[in-house]
Structure 1
Amino acid sequence: MKKIQFLLILLIQILFTANVFATKMAEFKGKVVDADSQTPLAGATIYINDLKTITSSNAEGEFILKNVPAKGRFLLEVRYVGYKTQAQTIDLAQPEGIIISLEPSIVESAEVVITGSPFSSDNKTNSLSVITIGKEKLVQSAGTNLIDAISRIPGISQVSTGGAISKPVIRGLGYNRVLTMVDGAREEAQQWGDEHGIEIDQFSASRIEILKGPASLLYGSDALGGVINVIDDLVPTPGEFKGDFITTYSTNSGLSASSLMLQGNNNGLVYRGRTSYKNAHGFQYKNATVPNSGFNEFNLNGMVGLNKSWGYSHLSFSRFHTNIGLVEEGPDNDGNYLDEAGAPVLAADAKDRTLGLPFQNINHYRAALNSNIILGKGQLKTTFAFQRNLRKEFEESTDEAGLNLDLNSYTYDLKYYLPNQGKWEPAIGVQGMYQNNINKGDEFLIPDYNSNSIGTFFYLKRNFKQGALNAGIRYDYKTINGKDLEFEGEEVFQSFDNQFSNVSGSLGFAFEIAKELVIKGNAGSGFRAPNIAELGAKGQHEGTFRYEIGNSKLKQETSLQFDLGLEYTTQNITFGLNAYANSIYNYIYPGNFNDETIAVEHEDGGSETLPVYRFVQTDAELIGAEASVDFHLIRSLHFENSFAYVRGINKANNQALPFIPAASINNELRFEPSIKGFENAFLKIGINNVFKQARFDSFETQTDGYTLLDAGLGISVNTKKSKLNIWATGQNLLNKQYYNHLSRYKLAGIYNSGRNVTFGISFPFL
């Protein structure tokens, strides 16, 4: 029934879209000039995110946006290398067009338009704490996956299981408290598990917006800690066909990764296709290679759509496929990894790219229809998505999976933006999701279940000359029904039927108190219903070295966070400071209490003793701060520094919360010389200091601090039609042996990766 409702809503959307095809087409003209000399700037990029329309300025600095509505107010973004990116609201009914004056700047061009809010907005008027990371930084980060690539951003950490699996942590909150958005839809892929990474091709991200703090108002349950919004490439200008090719190689795990993308725009008919492949053997640290820690990954994704005067409609689809080795045991007392016969595994054998048992086989399919329909001066934005996640774990045999989970998710998101004159910006919305999960294997960790959720919200923003105020309220309702199960005459799971509901809201402001000095504040409540593992888990959780037992009586989590930020930007310095306090009621976490253990029997007749982790609740508080300061004393020299700290408190006993990342300081000195005949040359050196984590729960252990040395260099070589980008990035160059406090392999005595050097080439072509 829920599937039929989903399809009916989707059909109504398609029919409604067809009725607006006759909207009057128009053009919008303008000119981009230097603010000081008023000389035209050729090659500037002009973009309206809400219409997915893009163009560039000609030799006279003039531009034309074609196939846009004849009227309406939209946020226009203008970028040009060496100049400060500018965003301003325009009225498409303005017949004479506009002149946009850009100011020169030696500061790196930052993304100023934030899309993860009801209205695309200039970051200066956005009260939430948001960080954006562009494609170049993502590609050159040498991350083994998308989350690893952003894990050194202030306030961002990762729960890692080797090089293949990384789960995002924002300000000390992770798992189902952080929502990942892809193609405008929430990622649903068994993300409750430690060893369940996100199923996203990292090469498909044009940029990432990281929203820190409760975002339940806009996204509902599971956005209590924040949102990671993965945004794909801009569509080309009309009549343009282009693409890019990227390939990298990393020395530590032998990771080879390549991606090819092609896209075009034929008078508003837009299309894109991408294929990517990765392959790695076991990762290494000082004097050791971890057997069966390699992985391989093959991804396909594409998009086809229309960009017309009535708005846009894009259908995207993807298939993510990966095989990941799981490590069952750490090294012995001599630091050796042993095979089944008890003999040390040779380094050459540990580097074999053929995965052994156990391993995961994951297929994730996604289809999403994103549209923005112009209704007079209002807009209707919709997203309908279907996802299927097939997760298999092969433990005893490569022919038959033990754990075999089949998750189907249907999501919808409709937002209507009421007509406005730019001062008052109201929006209303409704979102929902239906899920069905089935066990198809003969081993079990979570029960079969159905889940249904719906939420509705109202949002209002008031813009002023020097800032903005915003407020909103939301109601959510969610049901989750676990099914009972008997297997070989024994009860495995008991059924349960739970309902959760919540009212949440937010109130925020952003105000320019002096030239280039902006203060921001936000008070927001968050909401999260317990996930299926917390409610119903019962079994050995492979790759985490523990046995989990859920609690179907758990209550929902709610939170109240206060966030205050200060941003200062001049020609030679940028400074940011954020402080926050987050109170979470009925905080859920797994713990090993009184050293409880259980003996687990295996099919081969063997057994092992595992610690038992039970899900419990407490009231909690997280207090923290992030700071960044970048000095640009001369055009070619940049000194970037950041600091992040979070303290988690279990209010029941005033002790530490588990799984809280350690404080860190990152410093990077970057030199960008001007070399005749070349572009984008850089040389950088970085020092990453992670402090000792001396605050930990009773079942955790202290993690010592460490310092890592990184470096990198790169250059762009001009060709006849494009340019060739070449770079090399080194991480942990001193081969430091260390544990990250959030590494799941720490429990088994397995260190994080040692020295790694990544070589990369990218070649955009027209």
Structure 2
Amino acid sequence: MKRVYLLLFLYLFIPAAGFAAELAQFKGKVLDAANQAPLAGATIYITDLKAITTTNAQGEFVLKNIPAKGRFLLEARFVGYKTYAAVIDLGSQKELTISLSPSIIESAEVVITGSPFSSNNKTNSLSVVSVGKNKLAQSGGTNLVDAIARIPGVSQVSTGGAISKPVIRGLGYNRVLTMVDGAREEAQQWGDEHGIEVDQFSAARIEILKGPASLLYGSDALGGVINVIDDLVPAPGVRNGEFTSAYSTNNGLSASSLMLQGNENGFVYRGRASYKNAYGFGYKGATVPNSGFNELNFNGMLGLNKSWGYSHLTFSRFHTNIGLVENGPDDHGNYLNEDGEVISADEAKERRLGLPFQNINHYRAALNSNFILGKGQLKTVFAFQQNIRKEFEESIQEPGLNLDLKSYTYDIKYYFPNLGKWEPAFGVQGMYQDNVNHGDEFLIPDYNSNNIGAFVYLKRNFDKGAINIGARYDYKKVDGKDLNFNGEEVFGGFSNEFSNVSGSLGFAYEIAKNLVLKGNAGSGFRAPNIAELGANGRHEGTFRYEIGNSKLKQETSVQFDLGLEYNAESVTFGLNAYANRIFNYIYPGNFNDETIPFDNNGSIETLPVYRYVQTNADLVGGEASVDFHLVKSLHFENSFSYTRGVNRATDTALPFIPAASINNEIRIEPNIKGLADSYIKVGLTNTFKQARFDSFETQTNGYTLLDAGLGTSIKTARGKLNLWVTGQNLLNKEYYNHLSRYKIANIYNPGRNVTFGISVPFL
């Protein structure tokens, strides 16, 4: 397998410079639509070519090293103006004059997750939300998922401030796929306390696809996709860098990142180093001992942007240590050590982690290319990942649990020459995995798996919308190894095969000016993960003993999604409703109060036993958002989301369903001389009581959180220097989120937190 990837690298990356393609440039001008004045500093993108440039003082731009033929989506952006997005034909069009209209709000980001072809929201049938770099930074989130968890339809399974797992419309874990550098992330994501192994600072934009995406991504995209997208490289001849740093008061989180990138006539490069360190998070009157963490991350990119397309090699090392909390407070709200003594506030705020803790190293290398073949495109992604996950319980030298997962993935798509308004494509994707236990404690068996899938996709564009249709076939095989340890059987061997045919049909149509109706019907597929099939043990940091079931069947789903979007000058709103039926839905449950004795460092604990079972399930719900922009500098943004999960066998609630919520935010953007992008915001998060819960869960009361923030930018010769302050839970409310894993131990979610941030450009 390693030889195969080496050959692919040599074939695709090094000889790429020799691809024969006619060299071309595309010129244009960006003007103010109201007075035809040139707009200097506007940004021009062709995302499918990784091409970017900016306008000069006369509003002129030149895109260099691009193909002479082909149809591509071009974007033009300028702060305070409506974003321009249109398909251009490089074979017949060499220049373009763009008139941008002043606007209180900018139109939605171009969507590249929900469709093989880059498109704007008016021609995309799926529900996709995009969050830019500035909003990610200003959210005050302690990790990547925390930063997007207030988007309607998105929530998180949290373990304090260190670990968050995305949940989309009530579905999480292996039902939500995370894409990084164009490749799916594989990092033992089945675990409760296994977060996303991605440098938070490396995300220039995150696109969230809500709903089944199995057609384009295969198994594990049953509930949706989180697509982490890095920045486009600068224009040819440009080098720049950025230093970002932030400090949070709740857990003393200090987070900094240094980035340098450049483009030397089509040879592009980027390097980044980031560091985080935090002590235990706190709530009113308490600090949770050993809930701190630290991270040291490195990532880089080398590539070519030429007339034949682009080829980028990205590589990264994500390293983190995370403290694990085993016990909640006593009846008086105090945390005790092993000797029964109260842990003081100073001791709880020590940055040195104690036992138990996780040590995680995640290595990733991905070769992402797009070759222009005539008027067609061949996009390929080949990736290797290694996730080394160690848990130290009794000794800081020898881990108990020690998992070593290697994953090899490939994704090959061909986009046929655009036939007028028809856009056909097909693709082949696959993955091989091998997992080995190196420790003397076990939760999942050694295993290997192999899966492959193929799809066809067709999109038909109209003047006021588009329709799309597609079909896909998947096959996956999982072989679990047997294990006997100290004369006892820990795991029994098994070999399972899964296959499925899925499809989708969708449309988007502008039924009136600025009013777009969207609909989508799709089927999804997910093979059981290794924990569901073969778990047998307690994972450190959890409060249960898990037992898998090798007889589980695959999950399949049918979902219907209907949406209405309106984008006008002063008012925007969106409505989405969905119904999702999942057959053979897999979930863990504690049945008949089953428990098991467990040896924890010489003392015997009684843990609840959770077994994986299946049922048919329904998830229905919706999201709504209304934003008022009646005055240029004033924004009033509101959103609502609701999900209802039903176990069809018992007509009871599904477990781990997030509570309904309403978010309100008033944002003022004053025009201050000498400053740019200034804002002041105040927001309320209203989370309702979750009174629908499974038999082994408990009710979670509702709560309201007050947030606020302010920020500004200072123009410098090298770019904008950004400053911001974000306050969360400013009233220091004690509350439990229904999806908090610490709720069962009576540990509240984090209390008041204020984050101070700065981003400084250089070069």
1:651 to 648, 653, 656: 648
Query: Any idea what the Cα deviations from partners look like across 1:81-124, whole Å, max 9, x if unmatched?
Result: 11111110001123551211211100145313434421111121
1:745 aligned to which of 742, 745, 751: 742
**Residue 703 (structure 2) aligned to one of 688, 702, 706:** 706
**Alignment match, 1:364:** 362
**Structural RMSD (CA):** 1.2
Aligned to 1:692: 689
* CA distance in 1 between partners of 2:22 and 2:309 (Å): 11
Q: Which runs of 5+ in 1 are unaligned?
A: none
- Find the aligned partners of 1:723 and 1:437 in 2 and give their Cα distance: 46
What residue in structure 2 maps to residue 268 of structure 1?
Answer: 266
The answer to whether residue 474 in structure 2 is matched with residue 486 in structure 1 is no
Question: 1:605 Cα shift?
Answer: 2.0
Distance 1:451 1:546 in 2: 27
Would the alpha carbon gap of residues 473 and 679 (structure 1) be closer, same or farther in structure 2, given more than 3 Å must change?
same
**Residue 131 of structure 2 corresponds to which residue in structure 1?**
133
Which of 736, 754, 761 is the equivalent residue of 2:758?
Answer: 761
**Aligned residues of 1:725 and 1:763 also touching (Cα < 8 A):** yes
The counterpart of 2:448, out of the listed 450, 453, 476, is 450
Q: Which residue of 2 aligns with 1:343?
A: 341
Question: Are 1:660 and 2:654 counterparts?
Answer: no
Match in the other structure for 1:717: 714
State whether residues 113 and 209 of structure 2, in contact with CA within 8 Å, keep that contact through their aligned partners in structure 1. Answer: no
Aligned counterparts of 2:383 and 2:183: Cα–Cα separation in 1: 6
Give the aligned partner of residue 729 of structure 2.
Answer: 732
Q: Tell me if structure 2 keeps the 8 A contact 1:87–1:113.
A: no
Instruction: After superposition, give the CA deviation of every residue in 1:114-145 in whole Å (9 maximum; x if it has no partner).
Output: 34421111121000000000000001110000
Change in Cα spacing, 1:249 to 1:106, as seen in structure 2 (3 Å) is same
Counterpart selection for 1:586 from 584, 587, 600: 584
Match in the other structure for 1:391? 389
Q: Which residue of 2 is the match for residue 500 of structure 1?
A: 498
Query: Contact 1:82 / 1:109 at 8 angstroms: preserved in 2?
Result: no
Whole-angstrom distance in 2 between the partners of 1:343 and 1:154: 43
Picking from 500, 522, 525, the partner of 1:524 is 522
Distance 1:671 1:370 in 2: 40
What's 1:17 paired with?
16
Aligned equivalent of 2:602, options 593, 600, 605: 605
Task: Choose 494-503 or 84-93, whichever is displaced more.
Answer: 84-93
Give how far 1:606 is off: 1.2
Contact 2:545 2:608 in 1 (8 A): yes
Q: 1:565 aligns with which of 563, 566, 570?
A: 563
Q: Distance in 2 between matches of 1:446 and 1:578?
A: 39
Amino acid at match of 2:470: G
In structure 1, which of residues 286, 290, 302 is the aligned counterpart of residue 284 of structure 2? Answer: 286
Q: Which amino acid aligns with 1:654?
A: D
Counterpart-to-counterpart distance in 1, 2:588 and 2:542: 12
Determine which of 75, 78, 100 is the counterpart of 2:76.
78
| Structure 1 residue 256, shift from structure 2 partner | 0.4
Report whether the alignment pairs 1:623 with 2:586: no
Deviation at 1:38, TM superposition (A): 2.4
Whether the aligned pair in 1 keeps the contact of 2:17 and 2:306 (CA below 8 Å) is: no
Q: Deviations over 1:211-244 (max 9, x none)?
A: 0000000000000000000000111011000011
Aligned to 1:677: 674
**Correspondence for 1:373 among 345, 355, 371:** 371
Task: Return the TM-score normalized by structure 2.
Answer: 0.99
| SS of corresponding position for 2:145 | helix
Structure 2 CA distance, aligned partners of 1:330 and 1:495? 37
**Contact conserved, 1:681 with 1:714, CA < 8 A, in 2?**
yes
1:642 maps onto 2:626 in alignment? no
Percent pairwise identity: 76
Supply the AA of the counterpart residue of 1:673: P
3-state SS of 1:541 partner? coil
Name the amino acid aligned to 2:757.
G
Rounded Cα–Cα distance in structure 1 between residues aligned with 2:649 and 2:98: 57
Q: CA deviation at 1:35?
A: 2.2
Amino acid aligned to 1:451: S
The equivalent residue for 1:315 is: 313
Instruction: Return the offset for 1:607.
Output: 1.4
What is the alpha-carbon distance in structure 1 between the residues aligned to residue 110 and residue 443 of structure 2? 44
Contact 2:532–2:548, Cα closer than 8 Å, also in 1: yes
The whole-number CA distance in structure 1 between the counterparts of 2:150 and 2:244 is: 22
Matched position secondary structure for 2:617:
strand
Instruction: Verify: 1:326 aligned to 2:324, yes or no.
Output: yes
Instruction: Provide the C-alpha distance between the structure 1 equivalents of 2:712 and 2:89, rounded to a whole number of angstroms.
Output: 40
One-letter code aligned to 2:16 = T
- Kept in 2, the 8 Å contact 1:216–1:527? The answer is yes
Query: Runs of 5+ in structure 2 lacking a partner?
Result: none
CA separation in 2, counterparts of 1:308 and 1:195?
43
1:335-366 Cα shifts (integer Å, max 9, x gaps): 11000100110010000000000000000000
Point out the more displaced range, 647-656 or 92-101: 92-101
> Do the aligned partners of 1:643 and 1:663 also contact (CA within 8 Å) in 2?
yes
Partner-residue secondary structure (3-state), 1:533: helix
Contact 1:600 1:608 in 2 (8 A): yes
Within 2, Cα distance between the matches of 1:116 and 1:243?
A: 31
CA distance in 2, matches of 1:422, 1:331: 66
Matched, 1:188 2:186: yes
Q: Equivalents in 2 of 1:305, 1:146: separation in Å?
A: 26
Q: CA deviation at 1:544?
A: 1.6
Deviation, 1:59, is: 2.0
Q: 1: CA distance between counterparts of 2:281 and 2:738?
A: 18
Work out the CA distance in 1 between the residues paired with 2:744 and 2:48. Answer: 47
SS at match of 2:79: coil
**What secondary structure, in the 3-state scheme, does the structure 2 residue paired with 1:203 have?**
helix
> CA offset at residue 32 of structure 1?
1.4
Q: How far, CA to CA, are the matches of 2:401 and 2:12 in structure 1?
A: 38
Contact 1:81 1:109 in 2 (8 A): no
Show CA shifts across 1:636-680 (max 9, x none): 100000000000000001100000000000000011111111111
User: Does the 8 Å contact 1:3/1:410 carry over to 2?
Assistant: no
How far the C-alpha of 1:574 sits from its partner, in A, is: 0.7
Partner of 2:464: 466
Could you say if the C-alpha distance between residues 95 and 193 of structure 1 is closer, same or farther in structure 2, counting changes exceeding 3 Å? closer
Q: Report the CA distance between 1:757 and its aligned residue.
A: 0.5
Asked if the contact 1:530–1:555 (Cα under 8 Å) also holds between the matched residues in 2, the reply is: yes
Give the SS at the match of 2:355: coil
Structure 2 CA distance, aligned partners of 1:681 and 1:175? 38
Flag the 1:495–1:746 CA change in 2: closer, same or farther, 3 A.
Answer: same
- Specify the SS of the correspondent of 1:391: strand
2:118 to 117, 120, 137: 120
- State the Cα deviation string for residues 665-703 of structure 1 (Å, max 9, x = none): 000001111111111111110000000000000000000
Asked if residue 256 in structure 1 is aligned to residue 254 in structure 2, the reply is yes
Aligned residues: 763
